[in-house]
Amino acid sequence: MIKAEKELRDYFEKMGDYNQAAKMLSLDMSTNMPKEGFERHRRALTRLSGELFAMNTAPKLKALIEELSLPEHYAELSPEMKFSVSLMKREFTENSRIPAELHNDYVSEKALANKKWQEAKKAGDFELFKDQLQKVIDLKKEIIAYKHPNEPVYDALLNECEEGMNTETYDKLFSELKEFLIPFIKEILSKPEPDDSKFNRIYDLNHERKAQEYLLKYIGFDYDRGTTAETEHPFTSAFSSKDVRITNHFHEDTAIRPMFSSIHEGGHAIFGQNVNPAFDGLPAENCRYAGLHESQSRFYENTLGHNINFWKPIYKDIQKIVPEFKDVSLEEFNREINHVRNSFIRTCADEVTYCLHIIIRYELEKEIFVNNVPVSNLRDMWNEKMQEYLGLTPPDDALGILQDMHWANNYYGYFPTYLLGSIYDGMFLEALERDLGDVDKVLSDGRIMDITKWLNEKIHVYGSTRTPRDTITEVCGKEVTAKPLCDYFKKKYTDIYKL
Ligand code: ZN
């Protein structure tokens, strides 16, 4: 190993340590911080983030990257170092165009946006949030214009979330889906609804916590390299493959929702835990592609978890852990988890109408970033789109535009990656069945670990080193298309709803 490589590895390690501290602060802000601790946390996070930004744009980093980019040195690097050097070279160029003051302003305003959003959500009133949201959106537009001066802002944001994506590709995929889904959902909703009265009851939160532990172990989450905590909104934070944190929210009025959140976050976490350990401390270690990441969480949650065969080997255990399901048969349980209905909240939606929730957000983000619609118009636009696609008008903003944390947390261009993840999943399912045989059989045999192993080998181990497009081509042997997802919906719901 030449001296510059050793120095760059040390530099990455140091950045990784700062990053770990910043991530830990953010995690703590959501899990454990008392209300009055906010200002000090915000200050610390802004300072750390400023230090990281300075390291990201330091001349020393530039010099090391340039040296290792010389063909004779670059050729000698391992694939993960090659990836890390190319990535940092690109990011260095982009980041050094942003004035440091602008960056610090943005970090600080963003923390405030999160706080304002929480208050507004509690009050169910978008008015309390809109000015701060406008402020961070304007700052974000300014930052993107510095980073990607020759690209339309929204295309740049989409590409930052999922490399290779832009409005043109999303428009094509989503219109393919919409064409299929809108009449299909109508047909489903014209059929009799299943009776859900057995599920309307109070659930013991400790039963839900135990079910989470059981399910996470069942799908392959490693408790020696991960822990769980409780937050308002579930999420997963990966520090390294040896330390992945899951959070969840338990509800008294539903045990189903937290169980599926566990499986979803478990999918993210299993990805994080199975990245090649040789990538530890390098920019390659965490998968940075949101669509690919969501494809893994949603594969566990929907493709596997919403399949009755997933539950066949374990439903008796689940009934013991959650005795509230004692008088619910497996068939009734399956009917309820696949109950299609129009609803207000994205994270509670069934897997079919869920697609429309995402399409609404994608179309609104285009309004914000392509058509520059002011934030003060967004609530009305949100409510109109809800009416258009789902036939519902939210009674207040907590059930409407304030429900998601994304816009308050700097995630612009992120929403469409959830649906893209499902589109990938349609394709992954085809590939998995080609390799392992009928998924219903694998699941009903209780061989879920065969599937986890397949995902580990085909996808997880690569971390960030393989782009989403290359992953899809390698694993599925074709370009991204929504057709397999449509076929999956059609087959499954024609059967369940007797269409
Ligand atoms: Zn997710």
- Say whether domain 167-496 belongs to CATH 1.10.1370.30: yes
- Note the pLDDT of residue 56: 87
- Note the pLDDT of residue 32: 87
Kindly indicate the confidence band of residue 471, based on its pLDDT and cuts at 50, 70 and 90: very high
Lowest mean pLDDT among 49-53, 136-140, 256-260: 49-53
CA of 422 to the centre of ligand 1 (A): 11
- Note the pLDDT of residue 499: 92
Q: Which of 5, 162, 208, 265 is catalytic?
A: 265
* One-letter amino acid of 448: I
- Note the pLDDT of residue 432: 98
**How many CB atoms within 10 Å of residue 446?**
14
CA of 301 to the centre of ligand 1 (A): 10
Span 369-421, pLDDT tens digits: 999 999 999 999 999 999 999 999 999 999 999 999 899 988 999 999 999 99
CA of 465 to the centre of ligand 1 (A): 20
CA of 13 to the centre of ligand 1 (A): 27
Task: Answer whether residue 241 shows pLDDT above 90.
Answer: yes
CA of 161 to the centre of ligand 1 (A): 13
- Note the pLDDT of residue 232: 83
Kindly indicate the confidence band of residue 34, based on its pLDDT and cuts at 50, 70 and 90: very high
* Distance of alpha carbon 43 from alpha carbon 140, whole angstroms: 20
* Distance of alpha carbon 76 from alpha carbon 265, whole angstroms: 37
CA of 195 to the centre of ligand 1 (A): 29
Task: Answer whether residue 121 shows pLDDT above 90.
Answer: yes
CA of 264 to the centre of ligand 1 (A): 6
Span 318-368, pLDDT tens digits: 999 999 999 999 999 999 999 999 999 998 899 999 999 999 999 999 999
Cβ pair 273, 221 in contact under 8 A: yes
CA of 496 to the centre of ligand 1 (A): 26
- Note the pLDDT of residue 352: 97
Kindly indicate the confidence band of residue 1, based on its pLDDT and cuts at 50, 70 and 90: confident
Round the average pLDDT of the chain to a whole number and report it.
Answer: 95
**How many CB atoms within 10 Å of residue 415?**
23
* One-letter amino acid of 148: H
Question: Residues within 5 Å of ion ligand 1 by Cβ?
Answer: 297
The domain ranges of the chain are 3-155, 167-496
- Note the pLDDT of residue 345: 94
Residues paired with residue 246 on neighbouring β-strands, in sequence order? 228, 236
- Note the pLDDT of residue 439: 98
Task: Answer whether residue 46 shows pLDDT above 90.
Answer: no
Span 71-87, pLDDT tens digits: 999 999 999 999 999 99
- Note the pLDDT of residue 441: 98
Kindly indicate the confidence band of residue 35, based on its pLDDT and cuts at 50, 70 and 90: confident
Q: Percentage of residues in the chain with pLDDT exceeding 70?
A: 100
Q: Percentage of residues in the chain with pLDDT exceeding 90?
A: 90
Task: Answer whether residue 182 shows pLDDT above 90.
Answer: yes
CA of 76 to the centre of ligand 1 (A): 36
- Note the pLDDT of residue 151: 96
Kindly indicate the confidence band of residue 275, based on its pLDDT and cuts at 50, 70 and 90: very high
- Note the pLDDT of residue 479: 94
CA of 238 to the centre of ligand 1 (A): 13
Q: What average pLDDT does range 441-460 have in this prediction?
A: 98
Q: What average pLDDT does range 44-63 have in this prediction?
A: 91
**How many CB atoms within 10 Å of residue 282?**
25
Span 206-228, pLDDT tens digits: 999 999 999 999 999 999 999 99
Residues paired with residue 227 on neighbouring β-strands, in sequence order? 245
Task: Answer whether residue 31 shows pLDDT above 90.
Answer: no
- Note the pLDDT of residue 354: 97
- Note the pLDDT of residue 30: 83
- Is-catalytic flag, 5? no
pTM, 2 dp: 0.95
Cβ pair 156, 298 in contact under 8 A: no
Tokens 């397949």 identify what position? 454
